[in-house]
Structure 1
Amino acid sequence: MATEVESGDLVQAAGHAGPWTVIEVRQGMALLEHADGHKLSRRTTTLTVVRKNSGNKAAAVESDSEEGASPTLFD
């Protein structure tokens, strides 16, 4: 099973020296940025995930609610 490419992941783009950071994913295309500032757009199916983004938004939301974060509009 292929790993889904998400914003913040480090990936290898076929035919390009990398790794590249995924800036944005939309409609099967990923906007990538290299450490030297170059940008590249590639189909997500041509990318190999080298390292997943550790800053998972869902995990961050769960940890905030567990640590007694300040009340929100819905509290």
Structure 2
Amino acid sequence: MSVEKVGAGDLVQAAGHAGPWTVLEVRHGMALLEHADGHRLSRRTTTLTVVRKAEPGTPAAESVGDSEGGDAPTLFD
């Protein structure tokens, strides 16, 4: 079984949560996720299953901090 690396912009399924969720940011083995209805949560990347990888070069695949000058607070701050 191969394990896919989770990255920003990917659609994932989080164990125990209805999905899919969009990965907003990955840091220190944790992923910040956002559901289509706006709810956010963070989960260990090892508990996530990638449903669809982000397309390279799309805004969703960019880091959250990069698009806002790096000063935007996240759940990790």
TM over 0.5: yes
Q: Which runs of 5+ in 2 are unaligned?
A: 58-77
Deviation at 1:21, TM superposition (A): 0.1
Who wins on radius of gyration, i.e. which is larger?
1
Give the aligned partner of residue 60 of structure 1: none
- Residue identity over aligned pairs, in percent, reads 77
Q: Is 2:51 the counterpart of 1:24?
A: no
**Correspondences of 1:30-69 after superposition (within 5 Å):** 30-54=31-55, 56-57=56-57
CA distance in 2, matches of 1:12, 1:51: 10
Q: How many residues of Structure 1 are paired with residues of Structure 2 in the alignment?
A: 56
Aligned structure 1 segments of 4 or more residues deviating by more than 3 angstroms = none
Q: Which runs of 5+ in 1 are unaligned?
A: 58-75
Give the aligned partner of residue 64 of structure 1: none
Give the aligned partner of residue 8 of structure 1: 9
Deviation at 1:14, TM superposition (A): 0.1
Q: Which amino acid in structure 1 is aligned with residue 50 of structure 2?
A: V
TM-align CA RMSD: 0.6
Q: TM-score, normalised by structure 1?
A: 0.73
Q: Which amino acid in structure 1 is aligned with residue 32 of structure 2?
A: L
Give the aligned partner of residue 69 of structure 1: none
CA distance in 2, matches of 1:28, 1:20: 17
